[in-house]
Amino acid sequence: MAVRLSCMLFLLEEAKRRDNVEKRRQAHVIRNMDLITTDTEFIKVFRLTEELIKQLEEDISPFLAKTKRKGGICNRTKILCTLAFLASGSYQKILCENARTYISQASASRAIRTVVNAINHPAIINKYIRFPQNTNERQILKEKFYEKFKMPGTIGCVDGTLVSMVRPKEHEERYYCRKGYHARNAVIINDPDLNIMHVDVTFGGATHDSFIFNNSVIKTHLEQLNNTGETVYLLGDSGFALRPYMMVPCSNPGPGSKEEYYNDLHATARNTAERTIGILKGRFRCLLVHRVLHYDPEMVGKIIKACCVLHNICNQARVPPVELPTHLQRQEASVIRLLQQGSQNSISDLDSGHLVRGHLIDRLWRGQNS
The per-residue pLDDT for range 270-322, each reduced to its tens digit, is 999 999 999 999 999 999 988 889 999 999 999 999 999 999 999 999 999 88
Cα separation values, 165 from 81, 182, 330, Å: 20, 6, 20
For the cut 70, the answer to whether the pLDDT of residue 16 exceeds it is no
- Give residue 47's identity as a one-letter amino acid code: R
Strands 246-247 and 183-190: unpaired
How much is the average pLDDT of 341-365? 67
The better pLDDT of the pair 267, 41 is held by 267
How much is the average pLDDT of 356-361? 81
Q: Find out whether 154 and 121 touch, Cβ atoms under 8 Å.
A: no
DSSP, collapsed to helix, strand or coil, labels residue 160 as strand
- Tell me the HSE value of 348 on the side-chain side, using a 13 A CA sphere: 0
Cα–Cα nearest to 73, from 44, 50, 95, 103:
103
Q: Phi/psi at 360 (nearest 5 deg)?
A: -65, -45
The whole-chain average pLDDT of the chain stands at 84
What is the C-alpha separation between 81 and 101, in angstroms, rounded? 6
Strands 154-164 and 196-200: unpaired
How much is the average pLDDT of 153-173? 94
Cα–Cα nearest to 281, from 63, 88, 24:
88
Looking at residue 254, what DSSP letter applies?
P
Q: Find out whether 163 and 183 touch, Cβ atoms under 8 Å.
A: yes
Q: How many CB atoms lie within 10 A of CB 121?
A: 15
Residue 33: what pLDDT? 43
Evaluate the CA torsion angle 280, 286, 290, 292 in order and state its sign: negative
What is the C-alpha separation between 190 and 130, in angstroms, rounded? 10
Strands 154-164 and 183-190: antiparallel
In the chain, the percentage of residues whose pLDDT exceeds 70 is: 77
DSSP, collapsed to helix, strand or coil, labels residue 72 as coil
DSSP, collapsed to helix, strand or coil, labels residue 242 as coil
What is the C-alpha separation between 259 and 236, in angstroms, rounded? 16
Which pLDDT tens digit goes with each residue over 54-101?
A: 999 999 999 997 766 665 788 998 999 899 999 988 765 555 445 455
DSSP, collapsed to helix, strand or coil, labels residue 205 as coil
Question: What residues contact residue 353 under an 8 Å CB cut-off, 6+ apart?
Answer: 241, 242, 243, 244, 246
Cα separation values, 164 from 4, 133, 173, 180, 210, Å: 59, 32, 14, 10, 19
Cα separation values, 203 from 83, 208, 215, 284, 305, Å: 25, 9, 10, 21, 13
- Of 82-96, 102-116, 237-251, the least confident: 82-96
Q: Find out whether 357 and 234 touch, Cβ atoms under 8 Å.
A: no
The better pLDDT of the pair 31, 189 is held by 189
